[in-house]
């Protein structure tokens, strides 16, 4: 056996497994996206079995792009949800990483508390938030609003100020089960879960920041803000890019949260739309799937390039 064969042999199982995992299902999706394929059809029973004789060419893509009413909404909503989460997690993550980067009593515990949400399984996260926290009647949301209303009401009888408070309207709790608000609920719960991830990464790279350079800047009389802008932010540019890309890939395929929070209320993203199509129109589901792959790949390309650069050093 030559010197080269064995190492190759050792990586073969991994490569083969991943190759199968990628090529077979994706190949099938690609194939289904070009044929007419539905699960139930009384009128055209021949469409219920995948076959080349049902060739539709780009018809499924055309249908999804121009006729399926929810496609563009789903794309728009996917992007809206991802971008909102990104903005919130990066800003919160930066602020909190800076805050925890200094030493103070109980720092270890603070870190543990901040990290914890990341390990909560998505299904529990969604069930917990939508029911126990955001529910307008039984959740903390409802209870808090009720409490505020009660306080305001009790102030009505206050001399002088009472007439001011009685002009206040009674607040109504926001329901997070409508189309638009349930997107906000998803953004909130995912931000809660993924801010720890941003904190961890920013903290790791803050620790490798050049302290001497910072001290020199302090001696030169640079303000805290200009130190942050001119030293810390450039140092964090790369970690920020990585956080943005990795999160984009994860959140573009967000599913459990959407499914639990907004089943049937119209709030959907691409994975959810694919799930809906899959209940009957496989051709459309596959075409939508290919669009989702393209969308994810746009982000993935940049990420891979960045990771590749740091790979061998």
In whole angstroms, give the CA distance from residue 70 to residue 155. Answer: 48
Does position 52 bind another protein by CB under 8 A?
Answer: no
3-state secondary structure of 43: coil
Site for another protein in 161-200 (CB under 8 A): 177, 192, 195-197, 200
Ordered DSSP codes for 206-265:
HTTS-HHHHHHHHHTT--HHHHIIIIIHHHHHHHHHHHHHHHHHHHHT--HHHHHH-TTS
Which 8-state DSSP code applies to residue 263? Answer: T
Does position 54 bind another protein by CB under 8 A?
Answer: no
Pick from 42, 103, 159, 167: which binds another protein (CB under 8 A)?
Answer: 103
Which 8-state DSSP code applies to residue 117? Answer: G
Site for another protein in 276-305 (CB under 8 A): 278, 282, 285-286, 289-290, 292-293, 295-297, 299-300, 303-304
Does position 255 bind another protein by CB under 8 A?
Answer: yes
Q: Which stretch binds another protein (CB under 8 A): 18-26, 67-75, 82-90, 157-165?
A: 18-26
How many Cβ atoms from other residues are within 10 Å of residue 130's Cβ?
22
Pick from 58, 137, 161, 171: which binds another protein (CB under 8 A)?
Answer: 137
Of 132, 63, 80, 47, give the one whose Cα is nearest residue 277: 63
* Pair 37, 29: CB distance under 8 Å: no
Pick from 7, 169, 234, 264: which binds another protein (CB under 8 A)?
Answer: 7
In whole angstroms, how close is the CB of 160 to another protein at the nearest point?
30
Q: What end-to-end distance do the CA atoms of the chain give, in Å? A: 30
Which 8-state DSSP code applies to residue 67? Answer: I
Q: Which stretch binds another protein (CB under 8 A): 2-10, 60-68, 154-162, 164-172?
A: 2-10
In whole angstroms, how close is the CB of 95 to another protein at the nearest point?
9
Site string for another protein, 66-95 (x = CB under 8 A): ------------------------------
């Amino acid at each position: 056996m030559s010197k080269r064969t064995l190492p190759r042999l050792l990586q073969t199982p991994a490569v083969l497994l991943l190759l199968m995992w990628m090529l077979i299902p994706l190949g099938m999706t690609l194939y289904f996206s070009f044929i007419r394929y539905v699960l139930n059809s009384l009128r055209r029973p021949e469409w219920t079995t995948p076959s080349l004789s049902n060739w539709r060419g780009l018809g499924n893509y055309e249908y999804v792009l121009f006729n399926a009413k929810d496609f563009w909404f789903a794309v728009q909503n996917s992007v809206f949800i991802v971008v909102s989460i990104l903005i919130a997690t990066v800003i919160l993550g930066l602020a909190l990483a800076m805050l925890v980067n200094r030493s103070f009593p109980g720092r270890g515990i603070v870190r543990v508390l901040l990290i914890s949400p990341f390990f909560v399984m998505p299904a529990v996260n969604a069930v917990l938030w939508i029911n126990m926290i955001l529910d307008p009647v039984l959740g903390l949301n409802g209870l808090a609003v009720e409490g505020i209303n009660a306080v305001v009401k009790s102030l009505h009888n206050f001399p002088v100020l009472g007439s001011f408070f009685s002009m206040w309207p009674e607040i109504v709790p926001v329901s997070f089960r409508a189309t638009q608000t349930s997107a906000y609920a998803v953004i909130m719960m995912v931000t809660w879960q993924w801010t720890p991830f941003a904190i961890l990464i920013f903290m790791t790279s803050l620790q490798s920041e050049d302290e001497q350079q910072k001290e020199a800047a302090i001696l030169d009389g640079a303000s805290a803000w200009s130190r942050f802008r001119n030293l810390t932010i450039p140092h964090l540019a790369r970690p920020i890019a990585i956080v943005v890309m990795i999160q984009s890939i994860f959140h573009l395929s967000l599913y459990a949260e959407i499914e639990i929070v907004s089943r049937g209320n119209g709030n959907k993203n691409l994975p959810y739309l694919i799930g809906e199509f899959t209940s009957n129109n496989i051709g459309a589901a596959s075409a939508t799937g290919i669009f989702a792959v393209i969308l994810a790949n746009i982000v993935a390309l940049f990420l891979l390039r960045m990771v590749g650069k740091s790979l061998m050093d």
